[in-house]
């Protein structure tokens, strides 16, 4: 009776759930985004990388051996390429290794950890929408850097606001520490001091 109740409630065996989850994930995959990403990758790497069949499976097959991804990240680094050897291989572990190398280089380049897909998302096709998100984030970082290595239309990607904030906080590190010191010294007017007294700690630090 319990099992009838369970299946009647639509919970059913795990493969049913997996298929349902997969279908939801697939819905997040954006064919228009795929087109834009393909255009960018070809513009960035040159026509030598070819073009995929225009669908999700074609996109996956184009990227899954890691070669195109490694070419892409190398092109964004300019002369100082992070991946020295890119080899086409029919062996699964070699392909996955190249995807991993791309992911590490993308994170070092400035893509945040939360925007990085997992190797199986691409290799096994578990979440190709996540692959799109990583590539969109990579394009955003490249446009934001503005170091001359980005090729393509700058309007294809939004500049990353958090990248600007991070750069700002690094530049203003000393001033930020002063404000923190000021707020730790007293609560009176701390928020106002934090807003207006940037880098000018005044009497609180002068009179310990």
Give the model confidence (pLDDT) of 37-54 as tens digits.
999 999 999 999 999 998
Q: Is the pLDDT of residue 63 over 90?
A: yes
Predicted pLDDT of residue 176: 56
Predicted pLDDT of residue 193: 44
Please list, residue by residue across 103-142, b when 16 or more beta carbons sit within 10 angstroms of its beta carbon and e when fewer do. bebbeebbbeeebbbbbebbbebbbbbbbbbbbbbbbbbb
What CA–CA distance (Å, rounded) separates 150 from 143?
6
More confident residue, 166 or 37: 37
64 token code pair = 């899954």
The model's pTM is 0.67
More confident residue, 158 or 118: 118
What CA–CA distance (Å, rounded) separates 206 from 200?
11
């Amino acid at each position: 009776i319990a099992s009838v109740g369970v299946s009647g409630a639509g919970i059913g065996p795990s493969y049913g759930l997996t298929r349902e989850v997969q279908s939801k994930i697939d819905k997040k995959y954006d064919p228009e985004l795929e087109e834009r990403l393909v255009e960018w990758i070809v513009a960035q790497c040159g026509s030598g990388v070819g073009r995929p069949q225009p669908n999700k499976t074609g996109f996956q097959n184009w990227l899954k051996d890691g070669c195109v991804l490694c070419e892409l990240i190398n092109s964004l680094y300019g002369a100082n390429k992070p991946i020295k050897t890119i080899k086409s291989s029919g062996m699964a572990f070699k392909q996955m290794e190249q995807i991993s190398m791309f992911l590490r280089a993308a994170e070092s380049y400035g893509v945040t950890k939360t925007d990085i897909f997992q190797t199986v998302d691409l290799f096994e096709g578990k979440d190709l929408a996540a692959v799109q998100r990583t590539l969109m984030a990579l394009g955003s970082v490249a446009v934001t850097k503005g170091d001359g290595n980005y090729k393509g239309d700058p309007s294809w990607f939004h500049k990353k606001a958090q990248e600007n904030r991070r750069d700002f906080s690094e530049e203003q590190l000393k001033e930020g520490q002063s404000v923190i010191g000021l707020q730790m010294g007293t609560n009176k007017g701390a928020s106002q001091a934090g807003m207006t007294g940037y880098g000018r700690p005044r009497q609180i630090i002068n009179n310990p």
